[in-house]
Each structure stands twice: as C-alpha cells, then as structure tokens.
Chain A
C-alpha cells in the first residue's frame, strides 16, 4: 500500500501583538481555530487528530498546553498530542500520523505569550543545563555570536543584513526604516536585525484522501524532513547550517522553487539559510515579511509552512518551501516542500 498524499487545506494565524492579553492562549486560539477550519471547509468534529507546539517556560504556567485544549472543545473525547517545540514539529507528527493511516485530517496549532516574561532570558534555559544555561546567555547574545562568526568569515556583511531587514519590512508593510547607524543591541546585532518579541498563534489543517480533495484550495506536501546539529555552540561551525542542508536533501527540495518562507528570527540567519539551502536570486524569499516582522514563539515556524502553502493555494506559486527552525543559532531545521501538483504520486 502506498502512503497517502497529504495536502495543506487550511491555515490561519492570530495577529502578532506586543501583548495579547491572557496568558493562557485559549482566547487567542478560539478564533484562529474557527478561521482555519472555515478555510479548510471542515467542522471541528471532522478533525481526527490535534497536535500542538508550545512551552510552559514561556508564560511560567504548568500544563499550559492542557489548558489550551479548552479552545478545541474536547467533547466527545479527541485524539491529541503536543510537542515542546515550534508547532512545525507538531505538524511533522501529524503528517506522519496521516501517512501511517491513523488519521485522515489533522489540525496543528502553536501558541505562546512571549511577552509574559523576559523572552531572551527565558530562552537561555533551552541550552545545555550543565555548562551553558547556568551562565544565562540570552537568545540575542547567542545569535550575535553566530552573526559575528559569519561577519568574521566574510559570509555576511552588516549592510547585507540590513538589506534583509529592509526587504522584510517592506513586504510586511512596516514603515520603520532600517538604520545602520543605530546602536547595537548585542554587537553586531541592531534592532532591525532581531525579530520583535510578540504574542501569537497559528493553526494549520492538513488532510489526505477525499478530505484533501473536498476543499476549494490545497497545497500538496511533497517532501518533509527535519535534522538537528550538535548541541554545543562551540562544537559546530556557526557559519554553516548542515542540518538545514541535510533536511533539504532528505525532503527532496526541488531546484525550481518559486518562493520560500524561511524562519529566520535574525537577519544573518536568513543569509546563512539561503546559502545552506542553495536558494538563488530567482526564489522569492519571505513575501510575508518573515519572522523579522513577527516571530510569535512556537507558531512562527508553523506559520512559515502555512504561508508557503498559501502561495501555492492562491496560485501565486507552483512550488514553495516552508522552513522552520528551533533551538539556538539555527540548531534544528525542518523543510516542507509544497506543490500545486503531485507529479509522480498521481494515481
């Protein structure tokens, strides 16, 4: 028996806000679920599997993902799972669940209230707990160490980084100009090099079989893979992203991509990813404005897949890449290839 074909059939995301009220996420998720399900043409009871990505560290609440299940309406009982990662990895779990024939439809969601604590400090706790986290290196400083290495190696320049920020802001409709004379937040990163802290949520609906064909618009998932690099920041060459290259190879990233949504919370990371993935000038990068203009923790990676799928579903692109990252300094990377047609899999 061949694996079923799976498509993205629905997507929605909450507006990225500096502070989105309640810490629980439930109130944010209710309208996002409603919109994503309407986009997919599904009722919530037609969802076979629910899978989420979030972290209790973000808002300092135990079992916040259990609390969030209220937004689903879990009666009659549902099949549900959770990852303590960006919801792009929850998407991977749901995708495999469907490939395994255990579900035909899945709703994947990510949420988080980054503004509840000091995000850059909280994220220090994702680092090695023996020799790194006790020093509290914040996420911006860790990214700055990577940016410095890339600058020293001549792979990026501060001007090229600023150009990434300028293009992203123009695409997102953010009028604030980039400023190469601005002070450093964490040398060599300026404000325009860093994603803003924001609260948010996103939901993606995927389906196989009749369900995939029933809705009005779909983007076929033709390749998914994720890989991880070693944990020690001093163990790897921070100027390369071998895990992204390996994931792209495993996912069969085509060389005739039209568009790529890259999850790069820092400007230099987009440049490193483009090199790691071999994305030439022909590929439109981040028409959404990317994570630099809205990086809600635990849903921004999932949103890259949803937004790339949107390019295909709307007919603006035939082949699109949705990329997600997790961990410090692009440690872990997920590649999802989305296409308007399924070439070899047509049956």
Chain B
C-alpha cells in the first residue's frame, strides 16, 4: 500500500492595520479613555457598537452619545475550552450585552467563573484592560456586577485613527498523492515527472493536467539538467531572503519535462541568458528531505545554448 500523503504544519500570521473613520475612531478613542459611545440613528435608537450609517435613512451617523459601562445579558453561551485569541484563557461565557442607555447588544466575553452563574438578564459591568490603546480589547471582558468600575486614566488625548489586530492561523497542509511521490523521490535525490495520458505532456512536479483536467499517472524520471527559459535578476533585499542580492531566479525547463520549475542560478548574474544550459547542484545527501531545497541551486554547464525553438513553447 502506498505511503500516506505528506503533510506539514502551516502557521500563518499577519498584523492587520485598519483605519477607523470618524465613527469607529471616536468609539475606539472612547474605549481608550474608559468611555463607551453609541451612535444615535434618526429613529432615536442608540447602537453599541456604533453604526456608521443609519440602516433606515442611509444617512451618515454623526451623533455619538455616552452609554453606561454596565448592562444586561440578552443571550449567552459557555466556553469550557477557550480557543487561541479569545478574551480569556479560562472557561468563560460569550454573551450579547445591552449596555445601559443602548438599544442594541454588544458581543463580548463574561468572566463569570462558572456556567451556572450565567443567565439571560444577568447584570454585568465592563472590566477595563489595564493598558488601553483604542481597540475593542480595551474592554478586557465583562464581569457579573451591577456597579460600574471606573477605569484608570491613560493620560492620552490624541484621537485613535487606526487599529492593529494580529491574526494567527494554524493549518495542516496536505499534499496530493502525486506530489508526495515527487517529494519522496527528491529525498532520494531523484526528480520525478508524470505524463498526461491525453496530451502526453510531462509535468514536474506532477499535477492534474491543467489543459485536459485529467490526473497524470505514468511516472517519468527527469534529468537534473535543463535550460533556462526565462529569468530575472533580484537586486532588492527583502525579509526571509536566502541569498544575497544580486542573484538570479530562473525558470528551468528540465530535460524531459514540459513545464519549467523555478530555481536559483548561481554564477555571474550578468551572464545568465535565455537558452543557457544548467545543471542542479545538490546539497550533501545526508541533508536531503522531502523538499526541492535539496537542490541548492543550478550552475551553468558550459554547453552550447539551447536553440530558442527548443523552449519557445514553454515561455
């Protein structure tokens, strides 16, 4: 039986910055200063979180009013095992909370200690975060109580214009069975392609034939020599870069393949050209794993250049 497809953890993260505009900017500034502002729409209703546009008249909302830091739970649930990023790292209740003076409910966490203490209609108050920057997380959470707790001042007065929200996601990336065979062959120092049964093209790495929409099946060993079809010289430094600029990233059409792979060409950057013949420079076999990084780079072989006609279909 074939080995199971290869998989690997994939963690991605980005700190999203967002400009706030006039309504949310004032709302976030208020949170930093220990105040909660709601927006009043034409029908007189006060919305917390604030709306930027009146849902009935569609006019921009300009009037913001203070509401109280105490409120009433209108719906709730209970989380025994908090997920990464949630407001509390111990069991808590997510709840919809209508603050006193507001007509709509805000979603936030309630630090009730136990599920038995949660109920619809319960009175809660804001627990302010010790350090506040103008963000919904300036409300650390809510806690059961009818009495407001005043926040410590921040001593800041500049308006909040932006928020930053870090997003961290964790995945397991799983390759296809064909990709797994390709990667496992790489770990043995071999390059493997697969041929489309319809158009007879050979794909490296193997994939469903993008022209015919059918799986490729016939395995084709591929030589680690090839031809530069096109290339660029990287002169700009960037985070995570593996080589010092200037260096060459090229599309290399391996002998026997019908689709080029991207890789580095090491040599005189000014000398790399379309049609140049190159060969793989493998790392030490002891370091090989299931990755194309087993090939450190490609080097010029010194053979005569391949004629343009031999690779023009692959540009």
Interface residues in chain A, defined as those with a beta carbon under 8 Å from any beta carbon in chain B = 19, 21-24, 26-27, 30, 33, 44, 57, 59-61, 69-75, 113, 115-118, 120-122, 124-125, 128-138, 141-142, 144-146, 148-149, 152, 184, 186-189, 230, 232-235, 238
Contacts and interface: CB of A to CB of B under 8 A. Distances in A.
27 contacts: A24-B176, A27-B208, A27-B215, A30-B213, A60-B10, A69-B210, A71-B213, A72-B213, A74-B211, A117-B171, A120-B83, A121-B85, A130-B20, A131-B27, A134-B165, A135-B107, A135-B137, A145-B94, A145-B96, A152-B75, A187-B76, A187-B77, A232-B47, A232-B51, A232-B104, A234-B74, A235-B104
Contact of B171 (A60, A132, A146, A184): A60
Given A27-B176, A118-B83, A132-B107, 14 more contacts: A23-B171, A30-B208, A30-B213, A73-B210, A117-B171, A128-B49, A130-B24, A130-B163, A135-B86, A136-B83, A136-B86, A141-B79, A145-B75, A145-B107
A149 B208 contact: no
A189 B118 CA distance: 15
A234 B104 contact: yes
B12 interface: yes
Contact of A121 (B83, B106, B109): B83
Contacts of B307: none
B207 interface: yes
A136 B169 contact: no
A73 B212 contact: yes
Interface of B: 5, 10, 12, 16, 18, 20, 24, 27, 47-49, 51, 55, 74-79, 83-87, 94-96, 98, 104-109, 115, 118, 120, 135-137, 163, 165, 167, 169-177, 179, 207-215
Contacts, number: 176
B169 A122 contact: yes
Nearest to B31: A131
A134 B78 contact: no
A70 B208 contact: yes
B104 A73 contact: no
B76 to A, nearest CB: 6
A120 B86 CA distance: 12
B286 to A, nearest CB: 30
B117 to A, nearest CB: 12
Contact of A134 (B136, B174, B208, B211): B136
Contacts of B78: 184, 186-187
A19 to B, nearest CB: 8
B85 A70 contact: no
A129 B165 contact: yes
B315 to A, nearest CB: 16
A74 B76 CA distance: 49
A278 B288 CA distance: 64
A226 B171 CA distance: 32
Nearest to B52: A130
Contact of A118 (B137, B167, B170): B170
A130 B169 contact: no
Contact of B55 (A69, A148, A230): A230
A117 B86 contact: no
A63 to B, nearest CB: 14
A238 B210 contact: no
Across the A-B interface, the 8 shortest Cβ-Cβ residue pairs: A73-B213, A234-B105, A144-B77, A75-B211, A136-B85, A60-B171, A22-B176, A187-B78
A331 B99 CA distance: 23
Contacts of A70: 207-210, 213
